Structure 1
Amino acid sequence: MLIYRFLTGVDDSAFCHKVTKALSEGWQLHGSPSYAFDAARQCMVAGQAVTKVVPDQPYDPDRKLIDY
């Protein structure tokens, strides 16, 4: 089964660490990162999709994706 997450955060080193942590846990980058200006916070926000192949099992929407 392929699972999907979209990581977001202010475009800073903490966001890079979040993506790096996901990669170290077996997630793979999916597509290009995205950027948008958050007018309320007056900062750039980054996003990156990641996917991971996990053993086939029933999908449970109440289960956290990091628990697969």
Structure 2
Amino acid sequence: MPKKVAGYFEVHVYGTNLGANDGELTFFLVPPKVTGPDGTISDDRRVFQELYDGKLHLNEYQKVEWWKEY
């Protein structure tokens, strides 16, 4: 389940493809008008992925509330 942190949500999932090497992946789901983990505010819904080196990558938001299907 997503964990609420500072107005946005932190999600941990386990990757099963070759690139993820069965490791834990961390995503941050940021609602509109909320400061995200990158320190910015946007009118858009945003999803960041934490990369292996701790840097953030902004992903394209493909479906609203996608995590509710899991």
Structures share a fold, TM > 0.5?
no
User: What TM-score, normalized by structure 1, do the two folds share?
Assistant: 0.27
Task: Give the structure with the higher percent helix.
Answer: 1
Which structure's relative contact order is higher, taking Cα pairs within 8 Å and 6+ residues apart? 1
User: What TM-score, normalized by structure 2, do the two folds share?
Assistant: 0.27
- Computing the radius of gyration from Cα coordinates, the structure with the larger value is 1
Task: Give the structure with the higher percent strand.
Answer: 1
